[in-house]
Amino acid sequence: MFVGHNNYSKEDILRIAKEENVRFIRLQFTDLMGSIKNVEIPFSQLEKALDNKMMFDGSSIEGYVRIEESDMYLYPDLDTWVIFPWVTQSKVARLICDIYLPDGRPFPGDPRGILKKALKQAEEMGYSSMNVGPEPEFFLFKTDEKGNPTTELNDQGGYFDLAPMDLGENCRRDIVLTLEEMGFEIEASHHEVAPGQHEIDFKYADAIKAADQIQTFKLVVKTVARQHGLHATFMPKPLFGMNGSGMHCHQSLFKEEENAFYDESDKLGLSNIARHYMAGVLRHARSFAAITNPTVNSYKRLVPGYEAPCYVAWSASNRSPMIRIPASRGLSTRVEVRNPDPAANPYLALAVMLAAGLDGIKNKMQLPAPTDRNIYVMSEEEREEQGIPSLPLDLKQALEELIRDEVICDTLGEHALAHFYELKEIEWDMYRTQVHQWERDQYLTLY
């Protein structure tokens, strides 16, 4: 009844909506910054929406268009139909939409469309799908008597702890049950390293479905947390001195049923395709960081000592580099890119990582030697000697790297790049000119 990503027809959806007495439908899409937006319609308008005739004003959406070109159309993806299990009084369903211009062209600033364009390029190179297994982490904080979030943690648990240390366990269990009711296949759910930090892993899917699922996952986590009197945040580094939240992305390319990353004759089980792909990801890593790590706060996570990767390297046996090769082989052979964080727009993040990997394949880029030592204990000289660069130190540096990389800029397209860059420059400038509490603590009495 609730499952998303089935092969639904227009008639199926109208029938199910009627049988289940669905009163409202949310037509969902994602803005450039990764925030979920929706236009809610009553059941009486569902048929019109399914005929791609539902319009909205694009000028009010972050990074979309100016007022004089604001009319846009929502084209629902029928396979994303799902009824929200948590709404009890009037049932509400959702459909995830692609954004189109009035002349029938896909809107170039639609993040989902940008990922589809990158996947089309992979298809033209002979890869039928990109499989992605995301691991978004989050924190649970207590709320105050007005329901506003505090920075007070609701537990003192650590990695894989159980109740009574892990007081978030009931909330996490309810999140898992809700996700399963919505068609997710949950593989694992556990407490993460930091107190108050959690991770729920769901089964890999093709890239579009995986990005859709990340957005749905965030919505469910925040909704269920609120029901438990908690605030869930996907902010990359909410607390100083503790691990931040990442969103490791396991990825592989397939040619129909065959995993293009696997080669049983290789001692690591990796094909040349996988090696070229990784080389491309490493080559473009500093440039796509602005997309995979898109906030000022993201770079507080990418520092040594908290299990987050800050160096551009790879290994099959070591967790400090940016790319790790998990142990599974055969159809499960994959590359785990560990620098993205859950503040990233998942559609854009997957698009730029895919484009970087495809560039590596196209140009047969040579993969550097693996780094099997702990990079955190290496000196700067040792890292330089081994050719291991760092990821950008802050958002400003990341934006400078982004704008210089033709492959990543082309993937985003002119419209999205210009708007993303402008919004992020404003963010950096506001941060740079703000006086922070740390500065007052350090300098107010000293000088």
| Bind-site residues for L-glutamate | 243-244, 301, 307, 319, 338
Q: What is the pLDDT of residue 63?
A: 55
Q: Is residue 112 part of a domain?
A: no
In a domain, 215, yes or no: yes
Instruction: Quickly state the pLDDT bin for 242 (edges 50, 70, 90).
Output: confident
Per-residue pLDDT, 165: 47
Q: Are residues 227 and 308 in the same domain?
A: yes
Annotated binding site for ATP: 187, 202-204, 250-252, 319
Q: Is 180 a catalytic residue?
A: no
Which of the following is catalytic: 319, 404, 432, 440? 319
CATH of the domain at 347: 3.30.590.10
pLDDT at 147: 82
**Active-site residue among 110, 137, 169, 405?**
137
Q: Which has more pLDDT, 59 or 323?
A: 323
Are 245 and 234 in contact, with CB atoms under 8 Å apart? yes
H-type helices in 166-271, by residue range?
169-181, 207-227
* Residue 1 domain flag: no
- What average pLDDT does this structure show over 241-256? 91
Residues of the chain with pLDDT > 70: what percent? Answer: 90
Q: Specify whether 167 is located in the same domain as 79.
A: no
Give the pLDDT band (50/70/90) at residue 82: very high
- Pairwise CA distance, residues 309 & 148, whole Å: 32
Q: Is 25 helix (H, G, I), strand (E, B) or coil?
A: strand
- Tell me, yes or no, whether 52 and 154 share the same domain: no
Give the CA distances from residue 176 to residues 158, 172, 183, 247, 269, in Å, rounded to whole numbers and listed in that order.
19, 6, 11, 18, 33
* Burial class for 429, CB neighbours closer than 10 Å (0-12, 13-18, 19+): exposed
Residue 37 CB neighbour total at 10 angstroms: 16
Is pTM beyond 0.85? Reply is yes
Q: How far apart are CA 321 and CA 372, in angstroms?
A: 9
Strand partners, 315: 324
Q: What is the DSSP letter of 79?
A: G
Number of domains in the chain: 2
At residue 436, the pLDDT reads 93
Residue range 327-371, pLDDT digits in tens:
878 788 899 999 999 999 999 999 999 999 999 999 999 998 887
**Which of 107, 139, 172 is at the close of a domain?**
107
Tens-place pLDDT, residues 265-314: 998 889 999 999 999 999 999 999 999 999 999 999 998 777 788 888 88
Tokens 């993937």 correspond to what residue?
Answer: 411
Domain range enclosing 98: 10-107
Which of 276, 283, 324, 338 is labelled catalytic? Answer: 338
**71 lies in the same domain as 145:** no
Q: What pLDDT sits at residue 88?
A: 65
What whole-number distance in Å separates Cα of residue 244 and Cα of residue 169? 19
CA-closest candidate to residue 204, choices 168, 146, 251, 157: 251
For residue 2, being part of any structural domain is answered with no
* Same domain for 341 and 202: yes
Instruction: Look at residue 76 and give its three-state secondary structure.
Output: strand
Question: Does the residue 445 lie in any domain?
Answer: no
The pLDDT value recorded for residue 287 is 96
Q: Say which amino acid occupies 358.
A: L
The angle at the Cα of 185, spanning 179 to 190, to the nearest 5 degrees, equals 75
Q: Is there a domain that residue 447 lies in? A: no
174 and 156, same domain (yes or no) = yes
336: annotated active-site residue? yes
> Residues at the annotated binding site for Mg(2+)?
135, 137, 192, 199, 248, 336
Is 323 within a domain? yes
For residue 24, CA distances in Å to 3, 82, 313 come to 17, 12, 48
Average pLDDT score over residue span 159-181:
69
Ranges 73-77, 103-107, 147-151: which has the least confidence: 147-151
137 labelled catalytic: yes
| Lowest-confidence region among 81-85, 301-305, 343-347, 413-417 | 301-305
Q: Which amino acid is at 5?
A: H
Q: What CATH number does the domain containing 81 carry?
A: 3.10.20.70
In terms of domains, do 89 and 122 share one?
no
Domain boundary among 80, 107, 134: 107
Q: Among residues 23, 31, 91, which one has the least CA distance to residue 56?
A: 31
Label residue 108 exposed, middle or buried (CB < 10 Å: 0-12, 13-18, 19+): middle
Q: Which entry of 98, 166, 169, 199 is annotated as an active-site residue?
A: 199
Contact 106, 98 (CB under 8 A): yes
Out of 31, 77, 135, 161, the active site residue is: 135
- Residue predicted with more confidence, 204 or 385: 204
Q: Is 248 a catalytic residue?
A: yes
Could you tell me how many helices (H) and strands (E) the chain has, helices first?
Answer: 12, 17
Q: What is the DSSP string of 6-17?
A: S---HHHHHHHH
- Catalytic residue check, 15: no
- Residues 164, 306: one domain? yes
The DSSP-derived string for 378-393 is S-HHHHHHTT-PBPPS
Question: Alpha-carbon dihedral of residues 283, 287, 292, 297, nearest 10 degrees?
Answer: 130
Active site residue 199: yes
Q: Is the same domain home to 88 and 124?
A: no
CA end-to-end distance (rounded Å), the chain: 66
Identity of residue 318: N
Given a contact cutoff of 8 angstroms between Cβ atoms, the answer to whether 292 and 341 are in contact is yes
Measured at the CA of 209, the angle between CA 208 and CA 210, to 5 degrees, comes to 90
Q: Is the CB of residue 152 less than 8 Å from the CB of residue 168?
A: no
Q: Are residues 352 and 221 in the same domain?
A: yes
102 and 124 co-located in one domain: no
Residue 262 is classified by DSSP as: B
| Active-site entry in 181, 201, 336, 427 | 336
* pLDDT given at position 168: 64
pLDDT of residue 382: 77
Among 81, 107, 133, identify where a domain stops. Answer: 107
Q: Looking at the structure, tell me whether residues 131 and 171 fall in a common domain.
A: yes
Q: How far apart are CA 206 and CA 254, in angstroms?
A: 10
Q: Quick check: is 444 in a domain?
A: no
